[in-house]
Amino acid sequence: MDELAGGSWLGINDWGVVACILNRQGTLGPLPGVRSRGELVLDALDVADAKDAADFLVDVDPLAYRPFNMIVADNRDAFWIRHADRDGADAITVNALPVGLSVLTALELDDPEDPRIRAFLPRFRAVPRPDPDLGPEGWREWTTLLASRTHDVDKGPSSAMCFQTARGFGTVSSALVALPSMERTEIRPLFHFAKGPPDRFSYEPIAL
């Protein structure tokens, strides 16, 4: 929960819909005259289906919010909602996520212009996929990468997966979320949360 503006950046509801929102590049923080983007996470979690949430979000007034990247998913669908511009009819678009592994930050999906994506997407693809049935231990290869402070010397610390700049901006928490497939609807989703940088804080289960 965002204690300042009342929204959230990440959540899951009782129907198994997950929503997560990120700033677009150059749009960090609030802006007078526009609403908190965290409201959109709560709006998305107010419905029982990721497709319905995506249909709602594409009709949001782009002038009401600063640009954002957002992921909405359930056990059937996963969408990237992209708001890159506060003007124009196509300011907000909904894109079905491709099958397989993708990485999203403040730019485009799997964008090689982002030094974090350029460095870490191949590394995530090179390690075994997580086994959520094993708990946090089943994510070991991914959590190792999520905790990595290895960075491009020319690009600076913010090109690491886990970082903190001299101005204090950086990684303040980390989460692992797993949704059961449609063939395993009797299984509850899993949510593990590190309440600080994952190189210093362990992932703890969140009861759902």
Write out pLDDT tens, residues 47-90.
999 999 999 999 999 889 889 999 999 999 999 999 987 665 56
Residues 1 and 101 in one domain: yes
Q: What was the pLDDT predicted at 5? A: 66
Are residue 93 and residue 119 in the same domain, yes or no?
no
The pLDDT score that the predictor gives to residue 28 is 73
Does residue 123 share a domain with residue 191? yes
195 and 102 belong to one structural domain: no
Compare 3 and 55 and report the one with higher pLDDT: 55
| Predicted local confidence at residue 1, as pLDDT | 75
List the beta strands (DSSP E) in 27-173.
Answer: 68-73, 78-83, 92-96
| 40 shares a domain with 3 | yes
Same domain, 15 and 96: yes
Q: How far, in Å, CA of 200 to CA of 59, rounded?
A: 40
Q: How many domains does the chain have?
A: 2
pLDDT per position as a tens digit, 118-127 = 999 999 999 9
Q: What is the C-alpha separation between 81 and 27, in angstroms, rounded?
A: 16
Picking from 70, 9, 14, the residue whose alpha carbon sits closest to that of residue 188 is 14
CATH number for the domain including 83? 3.60.60.10
Q: What would the pLDDT profile of 175-185 be if each residue is shown by its tens digit?
A: 999 999 888 88
Last residue of a domain, one of 73, 106, 139: 106
Q: Checking DSSP bridges between strand 68-73 and strand 78-83, what pairing results, if any?
A: antiparallel
Q: Which residue has the higher pLDDT, 26 or 106?
A: 106
Q: Is the pLDDT of residue 145 over 90?
A: yes
116 with 76, same domain: the answer is no
What's the CA gap between 105 and 85, in Å, rounded? 16
Domain residue limits at 79:
1-106
Domain end call among 106, 125, 154? 106
Q: Is 93 found in the same domain as 140?
A: no
Same-domain status, 9 and 91: yes
**DSSP one-letter code for 96:** E
Q: Which of 106, 132, 159 lies at the terminal end of a domain, its last residue?
A: 106
- At 14 the pLDDT is 94
Q: Are residues 135 and 188 in the same domain?
A: yes
- Do 72 and 161 lie in one domain? The reply is no
Mean pLDDT of the chain: 91
pLDDT at 27: 75
Contacts of 140 (CB under 8 A, 6+ apart): none
Predicted local distance difference test score (pLDDT) of residue 87:
64
Q: 117 and 177 in one domain?
A: yes
